[in-house]
Amino acid sequence: MSIHLFATIVTPTAVAANNRGEGDGSTLATLQTITRGNDQYTTVSADSIRWALREYFQHHYPDEINRTFDPDRDQYTFKDEKCSAEKFIDDDLFGYMDAKKDKNNKNATVKRRGALEVCRAVSLEPYWGDVAFGSKGGEKGKTSIHQTQMHLTAYQYTIALTPEHLKNPERASFLLDALVGVRHVGGNHSRFLFEFRPESIILRLTSDPSPWIMGCFKRMGEDIGCPELERLIQAEDIPANELFVGGKIAKTPYGQKLEGLGVRVFDGVKQAKDQVKEQLSKEGIFA
């Protein structure tokens, strides 16, 4: 029976706003928004999060990455045009697609679906349209005035991985390290610095193919809670012993309630991550 790894992450609360860059002088929106009910929320794409994970692997495992980003030339280069999930972390986790036909099958392209799945990050707070206006320095022109959208919020997102789908299952351990080591998301010229590391994290190791923990964080007054997660545990839809919770939520009433329900709760995000790595090792996923 397959073991699946799921994680839902909530970031610290900070100001999200793209710096002026390629959109200099324009009035284009710099934050993407979605509608839920009668409110708008800002969102960060899954591609941006994957970019951040690639950046982590490039810095920590430079010899095991196929696709590397050169900030001076603003472009990616490949060590080996023939992608290999066996050789490279990024080809294994994120997949690839080569438009060139497979020599052994003229009707097929060379491709691999990524083992890692990432959802869009969505803000916890509604976006009320905060905008800053400014003007570029020096000589003024018709494009001198610019605007920047800003949103004070935290974001949450979920990842899913079945380690046995990896050519090297030990890379599940590398991914866990990357999740708590993300610096910033982006990939374009006008990134903003916003810590996407977890302020709190919920990890689940299970044979259940469905995460059940997506979107479980919610702003509760000044704190961030997870009342829906508590309900799911009490309803026995999620066994408490499959969950590892770490971070700031541990010292809130929500963390204390989870602990009382039998969830393993840790003060630190990295403590929870390390316990999951230890459990994966016990399950024989990797040595």
Task: List, for residues 124-136, the tens digit of each pLDDT value.
Answer: 999 998 887 777 6
Residue 28's pLDDT is 46
Residue 287's pLDDT is 64
DSSP 3-state of 228: helix
- Here the tokens at position 12 are 């610290």
DSSP 3-state of 176: helix
Q: Residue 136: exposed, middle, or buried by beta-carbon count in 10 A (0-12, 13-18, 19+)?
A: middle
Alpha helices in 196-235 (DSSP H): 227-234
Residue 142's pLDDT is 66
**Dmax over Cα atoms in the chain, in whole Å?**
67
Q: Residue 3: exposed, middle, or buried by beta-carbon count in 10 A (0-12, 13-18, 19+)?
A: middle
Alpha helices in 240-287 (DSSP H): 253-260, 269-282
Give the dihedral of Cα atoms 203, 9, 208, 237; nearest 10 deg.
Answer: 90
Alpha helices in 20-148 (DSSP H): 46-60, 89-94
Ranges under pLDDT 50 in the chain: 19-28, 187-190
DSSP 3-state of 98: strand
Residue 26's pLDDT is 43
Residue 82's pLDDT is 84
